[in-house]
Structure formats: C-alpha cells, structure tokens
C-alpha cells in the first residue's frame, strides 16, 4: 500500500521534471556554481550572466537545433564552493535533471571533482573560470578528458604571463610567494609561477603558505620581510588578498603585490582600499579594450544588473556561447555529437576574446591581459598572446 | 677582527629582532585566542557543558561593532562596552531559552542544542550579510619603528585591552562574592545551591561575562583583520576551544595560558620552519601536552563520586 504510493509519487515527480514544465521541447543546460560559501560573488556573477544569456537567446527565438528553434532552459545548482557538493550537484544535473550539458563549476576546487562526474557520465561540461590544468586532464593518465572543456586560459599560461611580466615589465629579479596550500587553484598557480620565474632567471626568496580560513599572516609576512623581495606574488582569492596586503603594509613591507585572476572580483577594491592600490594582476579580459561583442555584453549586463560584469560573468557568458555554437553545429541534442562539435570549434569570437579548440585538448587557445588596480579601478596595462 | 665581531653582533641582533618581531605577532594572536577561550572555560566550569555557539557569538561581536559604528559615531571605548554588553546579554538569553530547559537532561542534547544555536546565529548573519564586509577603522593606527621593531597602535591596544579584561576577570573571580559563588558552583554544583547560592543567577552571570568577552574578542579581531564574514567564528572558535582544553578546561587562568601557548606555537612554527607544516606541528605538540597532562596544564581531575 505505502509502497505503491511511493511509486505513484515518484512517477509524478519524474513526469514533472522529465518532460519539462509548460510542455514543449527545450534545451536544458545545467549551471553548477558557487552561490553560497567562501565566494558568493563568483556564483552571483555566473548566475547573472547565465540568465542574461538565456533571456537574450530566448527573446531571439531560441537555439537552432537542426533547423528547429528550441528555447534554452537553465537548471541551476548551488555547490556551496565545496568539492563534495559540486560533485553531488553534477550528478543530480546530469543523471536526474538530464541536462544536455553542464556549465560550471567556477572554482577549480569544485570543477575538478565535478569534471570526474561529467566525464564518467559522458556529458559535456564547460567550466567558465577554472584555470587549474587538472580540470581538463585525467588524474591517472594525464591525457585530456574527452567531455571536459573550459572557457578560460590555464594556470600554466597564466603563470608564464605573470613571471615574464614581473621580470620584463617590472624589472624585478626577486619575488616571494604566499598562498593557500589547501586551495586547488592558488596552490597550482604558486608552484607554476615559481617554476617559470626561476626558469627565466628570477629568484624566489620566500615560498610561504597558509590554510583556508586563516586571517593572521603576520608570521609568514615577517619571515618574507627578512628576505626583502621586490615583488610578492599572491595567488589568493579576493577575500584573502586585502588582509594579506594590509598586514604586509603594517609590518613595513613596501614590495609590489602581483596577483592572479583569482583577484578579479570588484569586491577586492571595496575590501582592500589603499593597501592594494597600485597592484598588478593577470585577468581574462579588460573592459577598456573591449571588442564590439564585449561592448554589447557590458552594456546589456550593466542595464540588467546595475553593475559592470566581472570576468566570471564574461567567461560564463562565453561558455554558454561556445555551447550554443556547438549545438548548432551538431544539429541535434546528443551529448556525444555536441562534444565532438565543441572540440572542433576553430574560431569563436567571445566577450573575452577569440577562442580556438584543438582536439584532443579541452583548453582554448586565447590571450590574457594584465591589469593594475589604480584609484579604485581596474586599469589595462598589457596584453599577452599564447 | 673588530669587523668580524661587528658582523657577528649584527647577525645576532638581526636574529634577536626577528624573534622579537615574531613574539609581538604571537602576543597579538594569543591574546585574542585567550579572550575567546575564557568563554568556553567559564561555561564548562559551572555547567560541565561545552558552549559550541561561542565561536558565533565571537563573530557577532565583530558585526555588532560594524553596525554600531555605521550608525552611531561613538568613541572607541563606548563601542567596546556596548558590544560587550550586547553580546553578553545575548549569551545569557541563549542560556535562558535554549540551555536551561535541557539542564539535567542528557549531556548530548545540550551540546547539539549549542551547535544548533551557533548555526542559527551564523546563518541569520549570512542572510543579512551574504558578502564579506570591510570593518571600519575606528581610529587611525600608526606603525612605530622602535629599535628596528615594527609595532602599531592597534597591536598595542589589542594586547592591552585583552590583558586588562583578563586581569579584571581574574580579580572578579577570586576577589568578589559573585566570583567566589561561581567557583563554588564549579566545585560542586549539587551541594552549593543547597547552601543558599542562587545557582541560576550565577549561571546567567557566567554566560553574560563569557559571551561578553567573546564579543570583545570578535570586535578586536575584526579591527586587527578587517575583513569580516559570518563564517569567521568557526575556525577561530575551534582553535580557542583547543586552547581552553590545553590550558585545562574549567580553569580561567588555564584558558589564558592555553590561548597564549597556541598563538605562540602557531607563529613560531611558521617563523622557524616551513609554513606548510604549521598545523601539523602545532597540533602534534598540543597532543603531546595532553598525553602528559590529560586535564590540561592547569586543570584538575574531576572529583570522583563514590
């Protein structure tokens, strides 16, 4: 008796979610992002950009799938910026909600476990913002994963850009690094920066770590101060950088701060104030050298949300753009066909520049920019080509 | 010869300055751990209960300061007193509505209730402040160079206020009637009320003072590390709890000692060893202390009931 009730209820739920509310076929895409937890600003930007993209493409009639226009429908899951939750959300979106592809997660610590799920369930995934090489590479063989892509450059590329910028543009020969050893992206960026910087003739005089949630960096900074570096590289998220910068300045450290794309949220300016003014960091795009495509996105985003888009928003928008391009070329809502089309995109003009995929890699070839924080604004300084 | 001696002495003084600088860092961190640890230890002393909501009351201290400073341009000391009073009253209120009805019930229920209260506080704050906030600087802190050492007004203030509060508490507990009553209940919670000590009132007072000190610690912590978030109490709360256990939970002087030891060990491990080993080495060391002193450094073994 009770069991049959359960089955009926189960069927009813399946009918509701499976066939899609409001009837009619649609293209259902999952968004797995960091809405709560350590970096809510990242999740908010990603969700905003996804909703902007969906409303625009649906207003234009929908996505062209083999000659038929179908509306884009979002299935949003909050991974709480936690690795296990990101994997669980990926499982739910792909296996239960039956999305045709998944966008996200954004942070590498979440994107890596989620990518394992996407790969094993053979569902295309595009991470907008995860720069860690491990996201698109198999953990055991080191070969590219078949179904995992990203819309951003990798840490290998970013570390090279920053190391060369410090050596050639800032003319600095010594650098210290302070990073969160428990967080995937900063950890990778620190190690890769050290390798490239030393390989190009620089000297790493301090290499110090802390753990997620730490707020006191005085011991590490006092140690770094004794080695007197010209530059301190801080591959840290936007909520750690202001504290590190403030404590460093209070200790009398005058070294130049340099950061990675983890800095890019405007929150950093609000929290960091004068302590981070004049610092440089590597980023995915700059509003100051925007192409017409980027201009339009920035205007639309500003109009809808009353704030300029950060790079997470721009990359999420591009991830959706890449996916829709692949669906058009595949001509059908088949995960494998979409994957094949995605891996062969030869040129895509996105908000964050021109992207190109070369099979079998899931990493696009694209350029990076170096920005400076100046009087409370991100100011474009240099471009770096792959 | 003279040159070599000068070089040696400057190398020595460089090393001494480095140690002194790191000691200042350790004092700052330790004094905050100690202030929070007091709250855990006092509550455990009178009720043998661990108040796991304490870390979140600490966090609320920082947010209370943020809100007061945003709306009322009051002097620093007045804000500090207001924060102590507000968070103290909230601590006493939580005891009255959430813990007292469970007193005498299973120990686990009280612990789960405390964890629940902490989560409620944290998530209520999260709903109102989804993003990390910049703590306002209540005064301009200047960095002084004294004999090659860098020390700021803020550091002096944090260490000074913490020590003053701890000395005040020590006086209260050992020299006043209420303090003596508190220690009496901690000694024997069953017999002492029979002798006319108003147990409920003393317990409320314990929560008021413990939570108030936690709130003060939150405010000082927010000023020292001026990016505050609703989750900030979790990690610091755990560490302060560990400090209380190391010092001997239930002992007020032990909590202070434990706080300074934990702060000192954390800073000094980073100062002289690779920073990646910090948590591994500091907590192994603390485990070793507990192996030799299972009740903590200043803790007493509980009275055995026959």
Residue A137: strand pairing partners: A144
- Give the tens place of pLDDT for each residue, A238-292: 889 999 999 999 888 999 999 999 898 888 998 998 999 999 999 998 888 888 9
Q: How far is B277 from chain A (nearest CA, A)?
A: 9
DSSP string, B26-40: HHHHHHHHHHHHHHH
Contact of B60 with B221, CB cutoff 8 Å: no
- Give the tens place of pLDDT for each residue, B231-260: 899 999 999 999 999 999 888 899 999 999
Task: Kindly determine whether residue B225 and residue A243, on different chains, have CB atoms separated by under 8 Å.
Answer: yes
Instruction: Output the pLDDT for position A23.
Output: 54
Q: How far is A44 from chain B (nearest CA, A)?
A: 11
**Right CATH for A156-283 from 3.40.109.10, 3.30.1330.60, 3.40.50.2300, 3.40.50.1000:** 3.40.50.2300
Instruction: Output the pLDDT for position A386.
Output: 77
Please check whether the two domains, A17-152+290-366 and A156-283, share a CATH topology.
Answer: yes
Task: Kindly determine whether residue A218 and residue B18, on different chains, have CB atoms separated by under 8 Å.
Answer: no
- Give the tens place of pLDDT for each residue, A132-184: 999 999 988 889 999 999 999 999 899 999 999 999 999 999 999 999 998 88
Task: Kindly determine whether residue B21 and residue A252, on different chains, have CB atoms separated by under 8 Å.
Answer: no
Instruction: Output the pLDDT for position A22.
Output: 47
Q: What percent of chain A has pLDDT over 90?
A: 76
Q: Which stretches of chain B sit within 8 Å of chain A by CB?
A: 14, 18, 21-22, 25-26, 28-29, 126, 130-132, 134, 141, 143, 145, 150, 152, 154, 221, 224-227, 229, 231-232, 234-236, 266-268, 270-271, 274-276, 278-279
Q: Which residue of chain B has the CA closest to A225?
A: B18
Task: Kindly determine whether residue A271 and residue B134, on different chains, have CB atoms separated by under 8 Å.
Answer: yes
Instruction: Output the pLDDT for position A14.
Output: 44
Closest CA to B218 of B50, B90, B306: B90
Q: Which residue of chain B has the CA closest to A247?
A: B225
Decide if pLDDT at A16 tops 50.
Answer: no
Q: Which residues of A touch B278 (CB under 8 A)?
A: 209-211
Q: How far is A275 from chain B (nearest CA, A)?
A: 12
- Give the tens place of pLDDT for each residue, B120-176: 999 999 889 988 899 988 888 788 887 778 888 888 999 999 999 999 999 999 999
Q: How far apart are CA A130 and CA A362, in angstroms?
A: 12
Return left, alpha or beta for A375; rule: phi > 0 is left, psi -120 to 50 is alpha, else beta.
left
- How is domain A17-152+290-366 classified at the architecture level of CATH? 3-Layer(aba) Sandwich (3.40)
Instruction: Output the pLDDT for position A5.
Output: 55
Q: Which residue of chain B has the CA closest to A35?
A: B130
| Out of A211, A219, A242, closest to residue B279 by CB | A211
Q: Which residues of B touch A181 (CB under 8 A)?
A: 276
Mean pLDDT value across chain A: 90
pLDDT band of residue B5 (cuts 50, 70, 90) is very low
Decide if pLDDT at B89 tops 50.
Answer: yes
* A179: Cβ contacts below 8 Å, ≥ 6 apart: A186, A187, A189, A190, A208, A209, A210, A234, A235, A236
- Give the tens place of pLDDT for each residue, B94-115: 999 999 999 888 888 988 999 9
- Give the tens place of pLDDT for each residue, A18-42: 444 445 789 999 999 999 888 888 9
Instruction: Output the pLDDT for position A13.
Output: 45
The full set of domain ranges for chain A reads 17-152+290-366, 156-283
The full set of domain ranges for chain B reads 29-230
Residues, chain A = 386
- Cβ neighbours around B100 below 10 Å, total: 16
Q: What percent of chain A has pLDDT over 70?
A: 94
Instruction: Output the pLDDT for position A17.
Output: 43
Contact of B222 with B228, CB cutoff 8 Å: yes
- Could you give the count of Cα atoms lying within 13 Å of A381 in the half-sphere of its Cβ? 20
* B280: Cβ contacts below 8 Å, ≥ 6 apart: none
Mean pLDDT value across chain B: 89
Instruction: Output the pLDDT for position B7.
Output: 47
Decide if pLDDT at A6 tops 80.
Answer: no
- Give the tens place of pLDDT for each residue, A185-204: 889 899 999 999 999 999 99
pLDDT band of residue B302 (cuts 50, 70, 90) is low
A48-57, A78-87, B60-69, B283-292: range with lowest mean pLDDT: B283-292
Instruction: Output the pLDDT for position B45.
Output: 86
Task: Kindly determine whether residue A239 and residue B279, on different chains, have CB atoms separated by under 8 Å.
Answer: no
What is the β-pairing status of strands A101-103 and A68-70? unpaired
Q: Which stretches of chain A sit within 8 Å of chain B by CB?
A: 36, 38, 40-41, 181, 208-211, 213-216, 218-220, 222-223, 226, 239, 242-243, 246-247, 250-252, 267, 270-271, 273
Task: Kindly determine whether residue A216 and residue B126, on different chains, have CB atoms separated by under 8 Å.
Answer: no
Instruction: Output the pLDDT for position B3.
Output: 47
Helices B54-71 and B199-224: crossing angle in degrees, nearest 10, is 60
Q: How far is A64 from chain B (nearest CA, A)?
A: 38
């Amino acid at each position: 008796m009770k069991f049959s009730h359960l089955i009926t209820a189960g069927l009813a739920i399946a009918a509701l979610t499976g066939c899609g509310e409001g009837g009619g076929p649609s293209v259902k895409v999952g968004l797995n992002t960091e809405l709560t937890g350590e970096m809510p600003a990242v999740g908010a930007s990603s969700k905003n950009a996804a909703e902007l993209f969906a409303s625009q493409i649906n207003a234009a009639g929908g996505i062209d799938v083999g000659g038929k226009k179908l509306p884009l429908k979002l299935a949003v899951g909050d991974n709480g910026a936690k690795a296990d939750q990101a994997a669980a959300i990926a499982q739910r979106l792909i296996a239960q909600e039956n999305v045709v592809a998944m966008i996200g997660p954004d942070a590498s610590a979440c994107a890596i476990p989620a990518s394992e799920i996407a790969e094993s369930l053979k569902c295309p995934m595009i991470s907008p913002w995860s720069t860690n090489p491990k996201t698109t590479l198999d953990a055991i063989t080191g070969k590219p994963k078949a179904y995992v892509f990203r819309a951003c450059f990798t840490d290998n590329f970013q570390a090279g850009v920053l190391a060369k910028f410090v050596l050639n543009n800032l003319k600095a020969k010594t650098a210290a690094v302070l990073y969160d050893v428990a967080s995937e992206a900063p950890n990778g960026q620190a190690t890769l920066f050290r390798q490239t910087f030393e390989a190009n003739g620089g000297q790493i005089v301090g290499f110090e770590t802390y753990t997620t949630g730490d707020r006191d960096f005085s011991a590490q900074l006092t140690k770094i101060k004794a080695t007197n570096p010209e530059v301190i590289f801080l591959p840290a998220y936007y909520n750690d950088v202001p504290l590190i910068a403030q404590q460093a300045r209070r200790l009398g450290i005058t070294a130049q701060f340099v950061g990675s794309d983890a800095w890019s949220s405007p929150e950093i300016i609000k929290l960091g104030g004068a302590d981070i003014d004049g610092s440089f960091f590597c980023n995915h795009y700059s509003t100051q050298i925007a192409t017409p495509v980027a201009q339009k996105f920035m205007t639309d985003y500003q109009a809808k949300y009353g704030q300029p888009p950060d790079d997470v928003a721009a990359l999420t928008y591009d991830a959706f753009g890449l996916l829709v391009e692949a669906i058009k070329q595949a001509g059908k809502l088949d995960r494998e066909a979409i994957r094949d089309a995605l891996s062969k995109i030869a040129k895509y003009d996105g908000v964050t520049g021109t992207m190109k995929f070369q099979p079998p890699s899931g990493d696009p070839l694209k350029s990076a920019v170096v920005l400076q924080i100046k009087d409370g604004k991100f100011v474009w300084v240099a471009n770096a080509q792959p | 010869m003279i040159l070599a001696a000068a070089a040696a002495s400057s190398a020595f003084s460089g090393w001494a300055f480095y140690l002194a600088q790191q000691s200042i860092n350790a004092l700052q961190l330790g004094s905050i751990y100690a202030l929070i640890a007091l709250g855990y230890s006092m509550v455990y002393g009178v009720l043998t209960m661990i108040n796991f909501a304490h870390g979140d009351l600490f966090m609320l201290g920082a947010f209370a300061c943020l809100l007061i400073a945003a709306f009322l341009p009051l002097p620093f000391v007045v804000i500090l007193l207001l924060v102590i009073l507000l968070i103290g009253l909230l601590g006493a209120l939580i005891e009255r509505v959430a813990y007292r009805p469970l007193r005498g019930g299973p120990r686990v229920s009280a612990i789960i209730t405390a964890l629940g209260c902490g989560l409620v506080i944290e998530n209520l704050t999260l709903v109102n402040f989804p993003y990390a906030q910049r703590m306002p600087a209540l005064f301009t802190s200047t960095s002084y160079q004294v004999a090659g050492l860098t020390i700021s007004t803020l550091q002096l203030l944090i260490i000074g206020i913490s020590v003053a509060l701890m000395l005040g508490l020590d006086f209260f507990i050992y020299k006043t009637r209420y303090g003596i009553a508190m220690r009496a209940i901690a000694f024997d919670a069953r017999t002492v009320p029979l002798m006319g000590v108003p147990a409920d009132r003393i317990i409320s007072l314990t929560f008021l003072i413990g939570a108030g000190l936690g709130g003060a610690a939150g405010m000082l912590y927010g000023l020292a590390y001026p990016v505050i978030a609703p989750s900030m109490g979790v990690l610091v709360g755990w560490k302060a709890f560990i400090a209380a256990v190391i010092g001997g939970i239930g002992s007020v002087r032990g909590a202070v000692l434990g706080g300074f030891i934990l702060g000192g060990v954390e800073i000094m491990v980073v100062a002289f060893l690779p920073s990646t080993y910090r948590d591994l080495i500091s907590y192994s060391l603390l485990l070793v202390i507990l192996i030799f002193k299972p009740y903590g450094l200043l803790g007493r073994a509980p009275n055995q009931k026959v």
